[in-house]
Amino acid sequence: GDSVTQMEGPVTLSEEAFLTINCTYTATGYPSLFWYVQYPGEGLQLLLKATKADDKGSNKGFEATYRKETTSFHLEKGSVQVSDSAVYFCASLAGNNRKLIWGLGTSLAVNP
């Protein structure tokens, strides 16, 4: 069945460091892909998305490119800030029933 695998955390970085959080998927067909973020004490919210191969989603300095050949959607940011500390979830949406499939989440802590 469809699945999403993302790197385990926690990830701890210093401010202005480069961030990569890996996400790979398995799906029949071509799913839409999403990154959601959950800031401390807040609800889940969409960070960025991509709907077809080679699309790049971007928001708040974060980017992720839909790579069909490697079935990946890695999240990157060139220079993280303390305010980026949160849990990041990768998700895919595919299939006739259009059910969201989620990764387990990656916790990011950015130290000043």
Q: Applying CB under 8 A, which of residues 20, 51, 59, 83 lies at the interface with another protein?
A: 51
Contact 4, 90 (CB under 8 A): yes
Q: Applying CB under 8 A, which of residues 40, 70, 97, 112 lies at the interface with another protein?
A: 97
Which amino acid belongs to residue 59?
A: N
Q: Is 87 exposed, middle or buried (0-12, 13-18, 19+ CB in 10 A)?
A: middle
Residues 7 to 36 in contact with another protein, rule: CB under 8 A = 32, 34
Cα–Cα distance for residue pair 7/28, rounded to 1 Å: 22
Judged by CB under 8 A, does residue 102 bind another protein?
Answer: yes
**Residues near another protein (CB under 8 A):** 32, 34, 43-46, 49, 51-52, 89, 91, 93, 97-100, 102-105
